[in-house]
Structure 1
């Protein structure tokens, strides 16, 4: 079920009314409704994968209970690794089986040995990369004794399957979200209104910006051989806006929807394209995944505490694993390695924690140094996105080669160039709004709350009007495929 669909427009108010007017007397009833609604929401794509999420929930629930009573360290490690193997085993099979098989065959063919093996026609369960990491965080935190294991299976099931963030995050930690299912929720009108604002802003990002940018990004990347370097560079720019507005739009809708039900999810994006260096970009982009890898992979490996070799090793590991998490393609591995190379100079010179404040804090415009830093960081990010979007490495390098050719200086030209310019104007308008709210937790709140009522409501109706006027073909959220 898509957030930007008629199905969800019916589903959400139905669950909302049942939640606050039918099951509001008992906490367990509310949690049970969330579980049922979440399974309906998830099963809307393919009901067969409901057994998968239920099995994952059962495994981690039972392992958590056993970890509480088990005192022998060796047995505790066996329990933890059982959770890791089960969860990553499912993820590896559904997402990476064919990738490893194809590369295994290719490697032996290179040495003159021919191996015959059949690939499988595997359907990737939507959201598996997200809820797998969410349940793993629970088992690891219980093992580390940072979290008391739950005895409430309904609450734990609701935590694992919570429908607003089930299929594309934010990846919530059990230490933050699970305790919220233990507490009685009371309807908070101000919180619900704030949630509706966040949903509106997320839908605008998705429908007006991301979906329209997707039309041109897909057209240019899918027919890259027909276009000049300047047009391909424009295509990379369209994809840069598409992936940000698509994914952050989903996060906004998830956060806003959660507020309607009395829950708080953590922020997942914090205006990453205003970053002044790559380290700042990764503190602002897909925050829930970046911090997950930091806490459960980077720090256990030693983080940046060791010598230069350890810093380099750990940096490449975390970025390459992060790239590979996105998909079974060498393009994602290269994308991750490229970001590691961007990041390393800052880490080795101890400048990776330099820009911790908001850009141009207390000022309307950045100074020249900040502006150039933002421009360089944005350019490096756009270049890396080419590998992320390309079909394979050969496709990526062919696009880069043409961008670096003399045709880069030609005028971009492809069908519907006029409407593409309108889309770029809307993107520029969107970024102006984001810039005005860059020092807020959620940028929409600055405009939504601090403007006078006529301007505020005019802004809301303008967003709705733009969604009706510029709505393109309904598309899935881009991170559903990851």
Structure 2
């Protein structure tokens, strides 16, 4: 089920009314959320529900075994859980990729094989809910979380419908206590949730989907476009994926607020970042922090010498790229970001913007800050080409055309309407940059602003398009 669909507009109020006015006891509220979540997920395919249930039950059991005081036994089941979760990902998401790569590798040395390929769709959100389960088991092993006795509570943690298919990737010690605690309707929280949902819908339906048409037109015919047009296409995709994914996260956080839950932040205005390190503290925060806590730090982080720090940096960025998809262009995207992050790490500047916001106490950025934001955005946009392209050949051809094709620059004028969507988004983000959840506006113009946003969403509503991160 899509957030931007009429079905969801019927589904959400129904669940909301049942949740607060019919299923009042906590245990029945959790049962309702679980049933609603599986219905929401099963709207695509009931087969996906089976895989989700199996994955959930397996990690529920692993949680008890990993909690054993016998560390050898706990470690054994920890690795079994990791193998189980990565095995699910490997079969459904990466099997065909490796099968074809091995086929080509063997062909180079004279052996010809004909591997059996899986003809199944990748289950939506599989990378997200498997990471939920893995973090739960990891935290139990580390003593940060106790096993959950109530299976329904744990199943809600894994499958809570606002975050099920595209995050944020929650942590057990953050979401589970909210699931296990009695919740009371909070009017202010619900209003804040509605505002977040409206803003998320605006970013997805009005901004991202409008840019998507232009981006597809440029990328699908890049061989015949001028260099300036290709540059505009890359910029447009940067804002398309931002509006699409951050819009989803806003809708997810807003929906969760309606039911009394607070989810982890996933975006904090990443295009106002002054370097690549700050960008990754502001883009897909729940994923980057997951890799930091469960991969980078266990590998030694940056505390065991420069050489290991460099190794660990490349590992997490390459794994992050591969997490997004079984294709070399995603790995190249991760590699580029590792290269951009590396100088900051070696010069010990990767933490210099860890806590502040650009122009935190000023209305406007300085010239230096503008240059830093512009250069970071240019690098990120360059890397996005590999993310958007269907393969490495396409990415290379696109970039070559953007750099070398100076013919017919006036053709780019036909695509300048992308800035009608980009500039307003940037201006609003700049206004909100100090707090991504505070969407309050001056009282004098509050009703007008919200009415304009709502009317725009209604006007553009109707074309049901998947969120980009559903494929991951």
Normalising by the residue count of structure 1, what TM-score does the alignment of the two structures yield?
0.96
For residues 372-431 of structure 1, give each alpha carbon's deviation from its aligned partner in whole angstroms, at most 9, with x where no partner exists. 0000000000000000001110110011111111427823448xx2xx444421220111
Name the counterpart of 1:42: 41
Name the counterpart of 2:395: 396
Contact 1:60/1:83, CA 8 A, preserved across alignment = yes
Name the counterpart of 2:59: 60
Counterpart among 195, 219, 222 of residue 220 in structure 2: 222
Contact 1:35/1:157, CA 8 A, preserved across alignment = yes
Closer, same or farther in 2 for the Cα pair 1:300/1:275, shift >3 Å?
A: same
Name the counterpart of 1:385: 384
Name the counterpart of 1:28: 27
Query: What is the DSSP-based 3-state SS (H/G/I as helix, E as strand, rest coil) of the residue aligned with 1:444?
Result: coil
Q: Distance in 2 between matches of 1:181 and 1:111?
A: 56
For residues 442-466 of structure 1, give each alpha carbon's deviation from its aligned partner in whole angstroms, at most 9, with x where no partner exists. 2524x2xxx11x4011000111122
TM-aligned CA deviation for residue 134 of structure 1: 0.6
Whether 2:422 is the aligned partner of 1:427: answer yes
Q: Distance in 2 between matches of 1:408 and 1:471?
A: 37
Whether 2:371 is the aligned partner of 1:369: answer no
TM-aligned CA deviation for residue 136 of structure 1: 0.6
Counterpart among 293, 296, 319 of residue 321 in structure 1: 319
Name the counterpart of 1:112: 110
Q: Distance in 2 between matches of 1:426 and 1:303?
A: 40
Whether 2:424 is the aligned partner of 1:438: answer no
Which deviates more from structure 2 when the two are superposed, residues 35-44 or residues 351-360?
Answer: 351-360
Q: Distance in 2 between matches of 1:392 and 1:96?
A: 16
Aligned residues between the structures: 471
Whether 2:397 is the aligned partner of 1:407: answer no
Counterpart among 432, 446, 465 of residue 455 in structure 2: 465
Which deviates more from structure 2 when the two are superposed, residues 433-442 or residues 421-430?
Answer: 421-430
Q: Distance in 2 between matches of 1:217 and 1:181?
A: 40
Contact 1:234/1:412, CA 8 A, preserved across alignment = no
Contact 2:96/2:117, CA 8 A, preserved across alignment = yes
Q: Distance in 1 between matches of 2:409 and 2:448?
A: 40
Whether 2:464 is the aligned partner of 1:474: answer yes
Counterpart among 432, 452, 456 of residue 446 in structure 2: 456
Name the counterpart of 1:8: 8
For residues 93-124 of structure 1, give each alpha carbon's deviation from its aligned partner in whole angstroms, at most 9, with x where no partner exists. 10000000000011111122212223221210
Displacement over 4 Å in runs of 4+ = none
TM-aligned CA deviation for residue 45 of structure 1: 0.4
Normalising by the residue count of structure 2, what TM-score does the alignment of the two structures yield?
0.98
Which deviates more from structure 2 when the two are superposed, residues 196-205 or residues 79-88?
Answer: 79-88
Whether 2:296 is the aligned partner of 1:298: answer yes
Name the counterpart of 1:135: 133
Name the counterpart of 1:282: 280
Q: Distance in 2 between matches of 1:412 and 1:353?
A: 42
Closer, same or farther in 2 for the Cα pair 1:443/1:377, shift >3 Å?
A: farther
For residues 305-364 of structure 1, give each alpha carbon's deviation from its aligned partner in whole angstroms, at most 9, with x where no partner exists. 122211111000000000000000000000000000000000000000011301011111
Counterpart among 329, 341, 344 of residue 343 in structure 1: 341
Q: Distance in 2 between matches of 1:139 and 1:158?
A: 16
Unaligned runs of 5+ in 2: none
TM-aligned CA deviation for residue 471 of structure 1: 4.4
Query: What is the DSSP-based 3-state SS (H/G/I as helix, E as strand, rest coil) of the residue aligned with 2:106?
Result: helix
Query: What is the DSSP-based 3-state SS (H/G/I as helix, E as strand, rest coil) of the residue aligned with 1:319?
Result: helix
Q: Distance in 2 between matches of 1:64 and 1:284?
A: 31
Query: What is the DSSP-based 3-state SS (H/G/I as helix, E as strand, rest coil) of the residue aligned with 1:117?
Result: coil
TM-aligned CA deviation for residue 67 of structure 1: 2.8
Q: Distance in 2 between matches of 1:157 and 1:120?
A: 28
Contact 1:402/1:408, CA 8 A, preserved across alignment = no
Q: Distance in 1 between matches of 2:150 and 2:462?
A: 44
Q: Distance in 2 between matches of 1:327 and 1:441?
A: 28
Name the counterpart of 1:19: 19
Counterpart among 227, 245, 251 of residue 243 in structure 2: 245
Closer, same or farther in 2 for the Cα pair 1:53/1:406, shift >3 Å?
A: closer
Whether 2:156 is the aligned partner of 1:161: answer no
